[in-house]
A and B are shown apart, each in its own frame.
Chain A
Amino acid sequence: MIAFDRVSLALGSFRLKDVSLAIGKGDYYFIVGPSGAGKTVLLEAIAGLHRPERGRILLRDKEITALPPEKRGVALVYQDYSLFPNMTVADNVSYGLWVRGMQKGEAQREVAGLLERFGISHLADRYPGTLSGGEQQRAALARAVAVKPDILLLDEPLSALDPVTQEKFIDDLRRLHREEGLTIVQVSHSRREAHLLATRVAVIIDGTLVDEGEAEVVLNTPKSREVASFVGIENILDGTVTANEDGHATVDAGGRTFEAVTEATAGEEVTLCIRADDVVLAVGDGRRSSARNTMAGTVVSVAENGPVAEVKVDAGAELTAVLTRRSVRDLSLVPETPVTLSVKATAIHVIRSSSSARGSGR
């Protein structure tokens, strides 16, 4: 639907460098990256708010690089909602209809329908300053959807909400995407939001697009160490392949030997990525298991977080496992508890430092 072809642009001292990406119709496209990476600039470039120095922007295969924002069929919602404080909620929602010259009666009917759909009919005559964060977010979303955009652009829409409201709003966004078939581009620094909502993900670091593709692929099998770190892979170990037999490699990493599935050859430097929920803990000696990586260790810390707990284990290399709180209780896991830790060879994603191609494993 919309594509960037080697787009570069400068904004003060910041530069967006040579970005190429393709957002399909109906995609829920996430742009993730650390603060200051250029996520919002990229979103604003899609909206036409910044003119590229080089490269082309295409909408339905037609070049729109110089097309002004009002002709692009987009709507933008910022994290601070950017509602007009001196307009009521109803006036805010009808703003886009007003600028399009819609008749007052028709606009009122349209707005009434939108307020109903977003569950904010009772707030129609209120001013934004009197609303909660969640209510403001709904009003901002209703205002954006009112103009029936081809692409809805959201800049960290959940970051200013409390956890309970965040959950509700994630449901709203999912429903909006599913029911309206809207193409949504969302900027976020949350891997969790991307896991819950994204169909495709782009990772941007320091103005450069470092990874892009299907959400599951980018989030679970990152292309580089920095992407792995950003997408929240809990265990990242640098190592060297010592042997490889039919794609079954032995890797020395972090003072331990791991078995993993990769084409990397002996002597090659690699990075191992192991998700914490792929690490299994057992108390006492390891029983026979199909997991190729089994090692003894000691619990370093247990941090409970809602229904799960993050358990750090010193097994030569320090590895993190995520368990249910019930498992932690059943195994009586406390610091200093001796445990056996196991990881399947296929659960280890191997990034080959010599190759820019996506690694293997998982």
Chain B
Amino acid sequence: MNGNPIIEGFIEAIELIVTLNPQVVEITIRSLYISLTATFVATLIALPIGALIYFYEFRGKRAVVSTLQTLYALPTVIVGLLVFLFLSNIGPFGFLRLLYTPGGMIVAQTILIIPLLMGLTVAALSGIDRDKRYTITALGASRLQTVMTIIAEARFAVMAGVLLGFGRAIAEVGTVMIVGGNIRGATRVLTTAIALNTSMANYSLSIALGIILLGVALGVNIVLSLVQRR
């Protein structure tokens, strides 16, 4: 490499992507698999709980919502550390043998984005105004039908929340690094691979993976703006 390493790195990175370099493809697929699964599981958990928080009046509801909003910015390394401790041999869930596996990374990312998805679900449902809720009830809807209608009406806002959750999951590095261990061919994902290869001055692979990560983020943003336009 006699020229500018950054420019050369870019050129090589494009080559790696265009030629579907096996390592790039493998890391990308694993990243998507882990973050999509985590988003799916987190949605299954967060959506009903978010809906319960919205529909039921209880003492401390405001405090719960404020706490959820605070947890939006939960440091990923803290989640990684906690999940690590729980899944390690000394932790209560060590017997599951999930540490340094994609399964453990899914658990970590799920925990990371659940507060975000719950908070955004509450916000999405709150976007359905009081008059609409009263209209639904006065038109004869039962409690369950009212809940179903409001969720259906808020579905695009809820979907936007889910996309934001996926965006946070795929872009984070702290939890997957600690819980996954960045093991080549097993738990290495886009973000951890970029971190490692950059520290090893292997810029072309880092840039290639960075371009893919940016592409995923861009794709999420495009879908998000399409959803929000509804």
Contacts and interface: CB of A to CB of B under 8 A. Distances in A.
A134 interface: no
B140 A84 contact: no
Interface residues of A, number: 24
B153 A84 contact: yes
B135 A86 contact: no
Contacts of B129: 80, 82
Chain A CB count within 10 A is highest, among B132, B138, B152, for B138
Main secondary structure of the interface of B (DSSP, over half): helix
Contacts of B57: none
Nearest to A144: B139
Given A69-B138, A75-B139, A76-B134, A86 B145 contact: no
Nearest to B156: A86
B225 interface: no
Contacts of B135: 76-78, 82
Interface in A56-113: 69-70, 74-78, 80, 82, 84-86, 95-96, 99-100
Contacts of B132: 82, 84
B134 A99 contact: no
Nearest to B154: A86
A74 B153 contact: no
Interface range for B: 10 to 19
B140 A100 contact: yes
B153 A47 contact: no
Given A47-B134, A78-B131, A84-B132, A143 B139 contact: yes
B141 interface: yes
A49 B138 contact: yes
A99 B138 contact: no
A198 interface: no
A44 interface: yes
Nearest to A47: B138
B140 A49 contact: no
B131 A82 contact: yes
A147 B142 CA distance: 14
Nearest to A77: B135
Contacts of A75: 138-139
Contact of B142 (A70, A76, A143): A70
A65 to B, nearest CB: 17
B140 A96 contact: yes
Given A84-B149, A86-B156, A99 B131 contact: no
B137 interface: yes
Interface in B118-160: 129, 131-132, 134-142, 145, 149, 152-153, 155-156
B139 A80 contact: no
Q: Which of B132, B139, B152 has the most CB of A within 10 A?
A: B139
A49 B138 CA distance: 8
A322 interface: no
B134 A49 contact: yes
Contacts of A49: 134, 137-138
Interface of A: 44, 47-49, 69-70, 74-78, 80, 82, 84-86, 95-96, 99-100, 143-144, 147, 153
- The list of the 9 closest CB pairs from A to B, nearest first, reads A76-B138, A82-B135, A78-B131, A96-B139, A99-B141, A70-B140, A82-B132, A47-B138, A69-B137
8 contacts: A70-B137, A70-B142, A78-B131, A78-B134, A84-B132, A84-B149, A86-B152, A86-B230
